[in-house]
Structure 1
Amino acid sequence: MKIKHRGQYQYAFLDSGSGGLPYLAQLRDKVPFASCVYLADTLRFPYGEKTREQVIQFAIEATEKILENFKPEIIVIACNTISVVALEALRERFLIPFVGTVPAIKLAAEHSKNRKIGLLATNLTVADPYTETLISSFASDCEIVRRGDPLLVSRIENGLITAGKHERMKAIQPAVDAFKAAGVDTIVLACTHFLNVTEEIQEMAGSSITVIDSKNGVVQQAL
């Protein structure tokens, strides 16, 4: 892809916190001179513990702020909870294109051999009807082991990323142990915050479990 000048591609990223930063980094790897803005609604973090109505309202307000202060060509919703709960409402309200980060259920089903998949997400994403639709559409023959983990989301947002490896491994252990006990062979990281500890989750899970996220697909769709 040829980049004629800085700012040719203008992207806005929206998340409740730092979870979407791996998506921004991935896009900048692909398009180094893209002009990007990142809005983290840390004042109302965590979205995953709010109601559906609150998340939709917060997402609308954040989008309005982005459009008032920046003129992006595309808005990347770098948050699974916003994407699952509010993406449809955003597309109905605003003309700008949106790219969402929905749980990579389809990709996980394509990879899973024993048809047991772990879904690591926020409580709201785990319970949302849209997630159920993804499962019934792409993984109806799979057993989905769901885990909402607000504590891990909060710890990642509040400094776990810069903590030592021992502390990071200790923080992810309850989730990984639960999935291993359930016999899954695939884990879907369905909250963007978890991508900040992907390497640790994969290391603890071991070679018999594949850890999957939506980062590559989302960035490719945004380009």
Structure 2
Amino acid sequence: MAKIAVFDSGLGSLSIIKEIQKNMKADIVYFADQKNYPYGNKSQAQIASIIKKTINLLEEKFTPDIIVVASNTPSLMLNLQIGKVVDVKPPLKLAQKKSKSKKIGILATKASVNSKGLVNYVTENNIPKSYEIFKIDGSNLVDLVESGKFLNNKKYCKKIIKKSLDDYIITENIDTITLSSTHLLFLKKLLEIEYPKVEFVDPGSLVAKKILHKIKNKQSKRNSLKIFTSGDIINFKNKLNKIGIKNKINYLST
């Protein structure tokens, strides 16, 4: 049986878990490290300490076959290509294929946008010089998801989305944007309604395929999901209930 641990600083992991469950059967442990939310405003040293501690915790407590760091911020800022760890990075190559205007936005947290890791990642992808890459701070949009406002205040969300993206999409003619925070997938429908001519590319299916390749001979007979948080259990349970997840929530300290 395949056991997969998936974590980030909150709700973002769920977008990756959804794609994993679409592609395979596995026993999934989901850890929402809300105590350390947001990753996106922390230094590289802080992120490194948090991620190392969390990976060790999940390893010791659950002995998973795969550990998914379901956040672009540490995936870009740290070298996580080790052993059973799978990271999540912006689907830049896919965005390149989809873009007609040759103007691509990378919508990410403040820490990701300002990181040397993102500069290196863009270089590693060998995007032709004819393409223009825009790094867009989407921290306010991440907050819309983690706060739960995306569930009950669509009008406010629309206002923040337009404030964050209008200048790039209307003025710069960007036609493709990578959702380079797993939280942002919860806003995908709102983004598509607001900007119907823009392609919003998410990394979920690419990550799921990478995991399937690693565990294809160890699939479980059914999907199961155990949920843990380092934050307020009741508050987190209320958020999950609103998006249709009724699982028991357990406390796990980092």
The TM-score bracket by the shorter chain reads 0.7 to 0.9
Q: Which residue of 2 aligns with 1:174?
A: 163
Superposition RMSD on alpha carbons, in Å? Answer: 1.6
Distance 1:40 1:193 in 2: 12
Per-residue CA distance 1:179-202 (angstroms, 9 max, x = gap): 212210111111111011111112
2:119 corresponds, among 120, 132, 150, to: 132
1:117 aligns with 2:107: no
Instruction: Return 15-24 or 163-172, whichever deviates more.
Output: 163-172
Alignment of 1:162-201 (within 5 A): 162-180=151-169, 181-201=171-191
Distance 1:124 1:53 in 2: 12
Q: How many angstroms does 1:116 deviate by?
A: 0.6
Identity of aligned residues (%): 29
Instruction: Return 183-192 or 156-165, whichever deviates more.
Output: 156-165
Partner-residue secondary structure (3-state), 2:11: coil
Task: Give the number of the structure with larger relative contact order, counting CA–CA contacts within 8 Å between residues 6 or more apart.
Answer: 2
1:41 aligns with 2:24: no
Q: Which residue of 2 aligns with 1:151?
A: 140
Per-residue CA distance 1:87-116 (angstroms, 9 max, x = gap): 43x72xxx4x11111111111112212211
**Any unmatched runs of 5+ in structure 1?**
1-7
Q: Which residue of 2 aligns with 1:86?
A: 78
1:58 aligns with 2:50: yes
Q: Which residue of 1 aligns with 2:11?
A: 18
8 A Cα contact 2:86 2:211, kept in partner: yes
8 A Cα contact 1:105 1:134, kept in partner: no
Paired AA for residue 102 in structure 2:
R
1:75 aligns with 2:67: yes
Partner-residue secondary structure (3-state), 2:78: helix
Q: How many angstroms does 1:214 deviate by?
A: 0.8
Q: How many angstroms does 1:58 deviate by?
A: 0.2
Q: How many angstroms does 1:170 deviate by?
A: 2.7
Partner-residue secondary structure (3-state), 1:75: strand
Q: Which residue of 1 aligns with 2:217?
A: none
8 A Cα contact 1:59 1:86, kept in partner: no
Per-residue CA distance 1:129-154 (angstroms, 9 max, x = gap): 22112222332422112111222212
1:212 aligns with 2:212: no
8 A Cα contact 2:78 2:117, kept in partner: no
Paired AA for residue 206 in structure 1:
P
8 A Cα contact 2:179 2:200, kept in partner: yes
Q: Which residue of 1 aligns with 2:220?
A: none
8 A Cα contact 2:77 2:118, kept in partner: no
Q: Work out the number of aligned pairs and report it.
A: 209
Distance 1:167 1:82 in 2: 29
Name segments (4+ residues, structure 1) moved above 6 Å. none
Change (3 A) 1:56 1:197: same
Instruction: Return 106-115 or 76-85, whichever deviates more.
Output: 106-115
TM norm structure 2: 0.77
8 A Cα contact 1:15 1:79, kept in partner: yes
**Any unmatched runs of 5+ in structure 2?**
213-254
Q: How many angstroms does 1:178 deviate by?
A: 2.4
Q: How many angstroms does 1:171 deviate by?
A: 3.0
8 A Cα contact 1:12 1:37, kept in partner: yes
Instruction: Return 122-131 or 135-144, whichever deviates more.
Output: 135-144
